[in-house]
Amino acid sequence: MPDKIKIVFICSSLEPGHDGVGDYTRRLSAALIKAGHSCAILSLNDRHAKNTFEGTQQADEIDVPVFRLGADIELKQRFAIAKQWVDKVDPQWLSLQFVPFGYHPKGLKPGLSKLLLTLSKGRSWHIMFHELWVGMADEESKKLHFWGLAQRVLIRSLVKNLAPKVIHTQTHLYQTLLAKMGFKAGYLPLYGNIPVIGNINGNRPAGKLSFVVFGAIHDRAPISEFAKEAAQYAEKFRLPVTLTIIGRGNNEQQRWADVWAAAGLTVERLGELSAQRISEVLSNATIGLSATALAVIEKSGSYAAMREHGLPVISVSKAWTPTRVSKPAIPIGVEEYTIGNLEECVANSKFQPYGSNVDVVSVKFAQALTNLKTE
């Protein structure tokens, strides 16, 4: 058991269900508190908070202390208020849960590290990179490539100025890209934000093939071709093949539903659901689908939630090839769909435990901060 740590996590927003990083941080804090560590969360650019809020939020039946600073508060005043609160809590560690767009509409916030340094006198920094920069794939526009270069400069400045003792990220691609910049980052697997209800095993309902897609659906996924092959599969094996869509509606959800119905298959859109209901739906599906680019599927909370619920996952995504780095290995439990191989993907989609949940990750996290060593 690692030594007890006292830590304040810093993220941009803490509105439950509206910010994946906030939800992630809340669950991690709850797991650490349950293990006897001292944790609190500070949100520095909270678009859902009016003025300031100090209180608790609950995750996994644990009360987590939070301090939310509304985005409408003038920036320097916001950090002055934050400093007073951090000094009152007096943690040993500050953990920046970093996403560039959390602090600026274009992910470009000059001077962020200098503002953060006002909070850190006598304290050690940890950074978790949930996102890096845009334009890191060959298929993306020159505009995104140049935009990404600017974001990369700011990330370099952030790490140089904060001098974190420990850095983590949750994708092997990001780990490689940070290493190319000269920064050693440990790999901390992502967990889902949907607690698992009940036991997980490979005993799914027989007699049907039920796909489920959960959360954001990225554009240009080859779902039309996938749906046509799914219809052929249903006819060949005389098996009902269905699709369930969970999450806030958008144009891509509608496109997926339309092409699935056009292929003569059953589709159900469930919209936003409670965490318990999502867990029930995932537990009764056969295979999860993900439209997140395969090279960065590890950063998808929806992917992690599906795998935690025992679902094998088929990647149905647009082409996205990282520039000037080797293609990362495909994670265990994931099959890559290419036009014509659906039957092979289904045949290879077997139950394999995910191996990471919030409790496992919290132990690895605490050990890294205690030993100042990442895997």
Domains and CATH numbers, the chain: 6-191+358-371 (3.40.50.2000), 209-348 (3.40.50.2000)
Q: Of all residues in the chain, what percent carry a pLDDT higher than 90?
A: 86
CA–CA separation, 195 and 309 (whole Å): 9
- Tens of pLDDT, residue by residue over 291-333, are 999 999 999 999 999 999 999 999 999 999 999 998 899 999 9
Nearest C-alpha neighbor of 358 from the set 313, 301, 278, 283:
301
Q: Residue 325 has which token pair?
A: 């780095």
- Chain-wide mean pLDDT for the chain? 94
**Which pLDDT tens digit goes with each residue over 267-276?**
999 999 999 9
- pLDDT value of position 202: 58
Q: Distance between CA atoms of 43 and 82, rounded to whole angstroms? A: 9
* pLDDT band per the 50, 70, 90 thresholds, residue 2: low
pLDDT at 199 over 80: no
Q: What are the Cα distances from residue 150, in Å, to 45, 86, 145?
A: 21, 30, 9
Rounded distance between C-alpha atoms, residue 46 and residue 294, angstroms:
30
Stated pTM of the model: 0.94
Checking if the pLDDT of 1 tops 50, the result is no
Residue 220 phi/psi, 5° resolution?
Answer: 65, 20
To which residue do tokens 């910010």 refer? 19
